[in-house]
Amino acid sequence: MVNVKQSQVYLLYGEESYLIQEHKNKIIEKTLKKEDREFNISQYDLEETPIEDVITDAETFPFLGEGKVVIANQPVFLKGKPDKLPFDHDTEVLLEYLQNPAEYTVLILVAPYEKLDERKKVFKQLKKNGEVISCQPVKEWDVDKWIQTLANDLHITVPPEIHELFTQEIGANLMALRKEMEKLALYVGEGGVITREIAEQLLSHSAEASGLKLVDAVMEKDLGRAIRIYKDLEKLNEEPIALTALLASQFRIISQAKVLKQKGYGQNQMKSYIKAHPYVIKMALKRERAFSQQELDQIMNQLAETDYNLKQGKMEKALAFEMLLYRLINIKQNTPVSS
């Protein structure tokens, strides 16, 4: 999914580090032979080095081989409000270079920022004379495509029915997704299939994802599963007070989503009112159907009471949390799960 056009100058900008790294790798592969890469790649931090020093390097002939790559990180002068540095960047030198870049050098500017000031002369010149590539975080609805792409790259199979598990555990962080997929590929070997059991066993668990699993166990009235999830979290040194707060946060979002849905709000409109990741809101909308507003109010009351008891030391923590899970499931006990 990462394609790079041939150019002498590139600007990679955005906050998705995986995409930045992939684009850099592709550019280097296109530019340099393997044997030339050790001596013909230079890296600079523009928070410590003036851009004119970088351009001097770009204009210098390669030490060995026919070409070189010069990478300049943190070009603060492209931001709307540049960070204050102990020196000034002479961007006129860069502007002159962009009009006639050295044919033996590929210059890569890496700006890991959410936004750049596109009105600036330097940005316009980069767009005119170079290749500007956006490396912004992917949307949650694109994660399925990335799971499939990474699975193909690693020669493993990840069935579509467990994609949601990856999104729930990892979110849309491509670098983290790649690392987790590599771990799974190492476990099953080339041509292997990732089952739900393998994924649940090996994927690194986020606290938020575990909170959703606890919500599901309550929704499904499965006390045994809820206790097992809690015991797993306990092994990871997760405190009952923190887990109670996590559950409260998840149920609060579910309650908010229910109320807003009843008022006719769509998922995109809810983002302005519910301060949570779009994926969390999406999952809340799936789960709110399983609870009446009365049940959600009762659940929030139980969570508040347990939180108070834990903080006052009125009960042994582990027992208090297990009793909380029992009470939450008891609230659901006589209520059928909505489809």
Looking at residue 141, its pLDDT comes to: 67
Tokens of 210: 């575990």
Q: Find the domain containing 198 and state its range.
A: 140-202
Please give the pLDDT value at position 203: 79
- Domain harbouring 63, CATH code: 3.40.50.300
Same domain, 228 and 318: yes
Average predicted confidence (pLDDT) for the chain: 87
CATH code for the domain of 144: 1.10.8.60
Query: Domain boundary residue among 85, 101, 134?
Result: 134
In one-letter notation, the amino acid at residue 179 is K
Residues 127 and 64 in one domain: yes
DSSP 5-45: ---SEEEEESS-HHHHHHHHHHHHHHH--GGGTTTSEEEEE
Tell me what the mean pLDDT of segment 208-233 comes to.
Answer: 80
How many domains does one find in the chain? Answer: 3
DSSP codes of every residue in 176-211? HHHHHHHHHHHHH-TT-B--HHHHHHHSPPPHHHHH
- Tally of CA atoms within 13 A in the half-sphere of 156 that contains its CB: 23
Same domain, 124 and 185: no
Look at residue 290 in the predicted model and tell me its pLDDT. Answer: 87
32 and 90 part of one domain: yes
What tens digit of pLDDT does each residue of 89-111 get? 999 999 999 999 999 999 999 99
Give the residue with greater pLDDT, 125 vs 171: 125
What's the pLDDT tens digit per position in 305-321? 999 999 988 889 989 99
Integer Cα distance of 288 and 243 in angstroms? 20
- pTM for this prediction: 0.57
Residue 168 above 80 pLDDT?
A: no
CA angle 191, 192, 193 (to 5 degrees): 125
Reported as a pLDDT band with limits 50, 70 and 90, residue 73 is very high
Phi, psi (deg, nearest 5) at residue 201: -75, -40
Q: What integer pLDDT is reported at residue 339 of this predicted model?
A: 34
The residue ranking higher by pLDDT, 208 or 214, is 214
- 1 within some domain: no
Say yes or no: 328 and 211 in one domain: yes
